[in-house]
């Protein structure tokens, strides 16, 4: 399978950013770790990170007929980006939403995900394992 992993705003600062919430590993550490998991064997995985909503929308559009599945951590866009939600609906590629932290046990505004309904699954609160669970769901 060809799988695209998309990370949204501020996730480029993992390792530095609120380590008590997000851990001490960088995004590159998580990427390397996931790529080395036995589940990743034989699959073609690409990673994309952007702090810009429009760039994420463009990246989603570019997946049409190119990618079999998407893992997305939209960061704060999770909670209000109808543009990302609409792009996911438009491209119709199986997508799994992930979060490092447990968005349901934090501030009220984080409890709302506007993309949840257009994804085939949602994993949260498991740190980097949220990505692995999402990956497993896609290849299953
Ligand atoms: C996050 C949770 C979001 O609420 C937050 O804005 C992030 C990271 C997570 O992975 O836990 O940037 O998506």
Residue whose C-alpha is closest to residue 54's, from 116, 17, 8, 106: 8
The domain that holds 18 is classified in CATH as 3.40.50.9100
Q: What is the pLDDT of residue 31?
A: 97
Q: What is the pLDDT of residue 8?
A: 98
Query: Does the annotation mark 79 as catalytic?
Result: no
Distance 79 CA to ligand 1 centre (A): 9
d(CA 121, CA 98) in angstroms, rounded, equals 9
Q: Is the CB of 76 under 6 A from ligand 1?
A: yes
Q: What is the 3-state secondary structure (H, E, C) of 38-105?
A: HHHCCCEEEEEECCCHHHHHHHHHCCCCCCCEEEEECHHHHHCCHHHHHHHHHHCCCEEEECCCCHHH
24, burial (CB in 10 Å: exposed 0-12, middle 13-18, buried 19+): exposed
Q: What is the pLDDT of residue 59?
A: 98
| Tens-digit pLDDT string for the chain (140 aa) | 999 999 999 999 999 999 999 999 999 999 999 999 999 999 999 999 999 999 999 999 999 989 999 999 999 999 999 999 999 999 999 999 999 999 999 999 999 999 999 999 999 999 999 999 999 999 98
Is the Cα dihedral 100, 103, 107, 111 positive or negative?
positive
Both structure tokens of 25? 């590993």
Distance 133 CA to ligand 1 centre (A): 17
Query: Does the annotation mark 22 as catalytic?
Result: yes
Q: Which of ligand 1's atoms lies nearest the C-alpha of 106?
A: 4
Q: Is the CB of 87 under 6 A from ligand 1?
A: no
Q: What is the pLDDT of residue 91?
A: 97
Q: What is the pLDDT of residue 3?
A: 97
pTM: 0.97
Q: What is the pLDDT of residue 19?
A: 94
Q: What is the pLDDT of residue 130?
A: 98
| 62: containing domain | 2-139
Q: Is the CB of 27 under 6 A from ligand 1?
A: no
Q: How many domains does the chain have?
A: 1
């Amino acid at each position: 399978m060809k799988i695209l992993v998309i990370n949204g705003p501020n996730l480029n600062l993992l390792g530095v950013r609120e380590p008590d919430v997000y851990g001490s590993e960088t995004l590159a550490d998580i990427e390397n770790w996931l790529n080395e998991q036995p589940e990743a064997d034989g699959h073609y995985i690409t990673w994309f990170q952007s702090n810009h909503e429009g760039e994420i929308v463009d990246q989603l559009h570019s997946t049409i007929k190119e990618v079999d599945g998407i893992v997305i951590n939209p960061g704060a866009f999770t909670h209000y980006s109808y543009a990302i939600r609409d792009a996911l609906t438009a491209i119709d590629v199986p997508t799994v939403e992930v979060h490092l932290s447990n968005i349901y046990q934090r501030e009220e505004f984080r409890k709302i995900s506007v993309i949840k309904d257009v994804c085939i699954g949602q994993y949260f609160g498991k740190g980097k394992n949220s990505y692995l669970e999402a990956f497993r769901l896609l290849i299953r």
